[in-house]
């Protein structure tokens, strides 16, 4: 194309810039003058215009396919690694004004991405990821400083609840601000998640008085699909209802605290279910009972 510069007064680059509105007023005027008397040039322009597509609209669809939960997790992992690196650097360069580094803080080598990827859908990675977020979730709360190194001796259900709680602890109201609020889309989302999970999620679970339903998505716990329904309480506190098939015996609702969040969990028909959020036990209990009632 550039080789044509000598034989043609107007290059393809200039033509495409003209189509894209990137020429200055002067350039545009002289190019339009050149077009007037040059049929061949008009033909090339028409060809370039034939290469026009509804780009933004087409790629909007790809945006809708983004695995939002995984990406949020990837960001959390990056933020965690970065925080660890910053802490390690601080420890190496003593600064009298800075806070002392906690004695039990883990030094993590300042590697970038490859070995600490959050992305592998294997069980081992899932547990590793639990550990990783275990640190991150503690920031700001002063509660969970140590990694959950007891994971190996926990039951699968406990590991699951810890993973969900760690993950939930990273949520803010902004995390859910991009969720679709169109009822048709929400209903379709629930159906998609129901199918992946193998358990019917009635539309009613999205209508919990006092909670603003945001979205349903499928995450992965080991090889098992993990359903996550996200709600917002008083436009401020993220609440999640999560389900995974662990084939544990039925169990009535119990309370516990993980990563500083209250949890109500129960098991039914092979599925383990939990409601988690930064709410007082009583309030969370009420919501959990409401949701449990809708699942029957």
Partner 1 sequence: MTDTHLNPVKSGLPELLSRLWRFAMVLSHNEEIAGDLVQATCLRALQRSEQFQEGTHLDRWTFSIMASLWKNELRAERIRRGGGFVDAEEVLVSDGAEKIETNILLTEVLAEVQALPEAQRSAVLLVYVEGLTYAEAAAALEVPIGTIMSRLAAARFKLAALRRAEEGGPRRQVKTGQ
Residue 49, both tokens: 């215009």
Q: Which residue has the tokens 């547990």?
A: 127
Retrieve residue 82's tokens.
């970065």
- What phi, psi does 41 have (nearest 5°)? -65, -40
Tell me: does residue 156 bind partner 1 (CB under 8 A): no
- 85: contact with partner 1 by CB under 8 A: yes
Instruction: Identify the helix (H) or strand (E) that includes residue 20.
Output: none
Kindly report each contact of residues 202-210 with a partner whose C-beta sits within 8 Å and lies 24 or more positions away, as own/partner.
Answer: 202/294, 202/295, 204/294, 205/229, 205/241, 205/291, 205/294, 205/295, 207/294, 208/287, 208/290, 208/291, 208/294, 209/290, 210/286, 210/287
Contact residue for partner 1 among 37, 39, 51, 269 (CB under 8 A): 51
Q: What is the smallest separation between the CB atom of 296 and partner 1, expressed in angstroms?
A: 28
CB-based contact 157:246 (threshold 8 Å) = yes
* 187-246 positions binding partner 1, by CB under 8 A: 188, 192
φ, ψ of residue 243 to 5 degrees: the values are -140, 140
Q: Which of 178, 209, 235, 252 binds partner 1 (CB under 8 A)?
A: 178
Binding mask 240-269 for partner 1 (x = CB under 8 A): ------------------------------
- The yes or no reply on residue 109 touching partner 1 (CB under 8 A) is no
In the bound state with partner 1, the residue whose beta carbon lies nearer, of 64 and 92, is 64
How far apart are the two ends of the chain, measured CA to CA in Å? 67
By CB under 8 A, name the one of 168, 175, 206, 228 that touches partner 1. 175
Contact between 7 and partner 1 by CB under 8 A: the answer reads no
Q: Which is nearer to partner 1, 11 or 154 (CB)?
A: 11
* Number of neighbours of residue 269 by Cβ within 10 angstroms: 9
Our CB check for partner 1 shows the closer of 77 and 279 to be 77
Q: Distance between CA 230 and CA 291 in Å, rounded?
A: 12
Q: Residues touching partner 1: how many (CB under 8 A)?
A: 59
Which of the stretches 24-32, 81-89, 125-133, 148-156 binds partner 1 when contact is defined by CB under 8 A? 81-89
Is residue 52 within the footprint of partner 1 (CB under 8 A)?
A: yes
- The residue among 139, 147, 164 whose CA lies nearest residue 83 is 139
The residue range among 9-17, 129-137, 141-149, 252-260 that interacts with partner 1, by the rule CB under 8 A, is 9-17
Binding residues vs partner 1 (CB under 8 A): 1-2, 12-17, 19-20, 22, 47-59, 61-68, 70-72, 74-75, 77-79, 81-83, 85-87, 90, 112-114, 117-120, 174-175, 178, 188, 192
């Amino acid at each position: 194309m550039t080789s044509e510069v000598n034989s043609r007064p107007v290059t393809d680059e200039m033509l495409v810039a003209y189509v894209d509105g990137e020429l200055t007023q002067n350039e545009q005027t002289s190019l339009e003058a050149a077009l007037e008397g040059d049929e061949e040039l008009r033909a090339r322009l028409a060809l370039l215009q034939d290469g026009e597509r509804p780009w933004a609209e087409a790629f909007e669809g790809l945006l809708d396919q983004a695995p939002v939960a995984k990406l949020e997790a990837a960001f959390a992992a990056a933020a965690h690694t970065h925080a660890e690196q910053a802490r390690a650097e601080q420890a190496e360069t003593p600064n009298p004004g800075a806070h002392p580094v906690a004695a039990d803080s883990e030094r993590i080598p300042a590697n970038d991405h490859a070995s600490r990827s959050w992305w592998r859908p294997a069980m081992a990675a899932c547990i590793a990821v639990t550990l990783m977020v275990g640190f991150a979730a503690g920031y700001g709360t002063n509660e969970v400083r140590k990694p959950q190194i007891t994971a190996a001796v926990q039951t699968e259900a406990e590991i699951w609840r810890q993973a969900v709680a760690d993950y939930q602890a990273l949520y803010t109201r902004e995390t859910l601000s991009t969720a679709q609020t169109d009822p048709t889309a929400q209903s379709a989302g629930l159906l998609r998640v129901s199918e992946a999970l193998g358990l019917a999620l009635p539309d009613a679970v999205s209508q919990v008085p006092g909670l603003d339903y945001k979205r349903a998505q499928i995450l992965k716990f080991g090889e098992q699909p993990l359903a996550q329904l996200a709600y917002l309480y008083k436009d401020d506190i993220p609440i999640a209802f999560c389900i995974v098939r662990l084939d544990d015996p039925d169990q009535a609702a119990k309370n516990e605290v993980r990563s500083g969040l209250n949890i109500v969990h129960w098991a039914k028909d092979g599925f383990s279910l939990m409601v988690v959020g930064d709410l007082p036990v009583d309030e969370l209990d009420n919501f959990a009972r409401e949701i449990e009632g809708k699942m029957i």
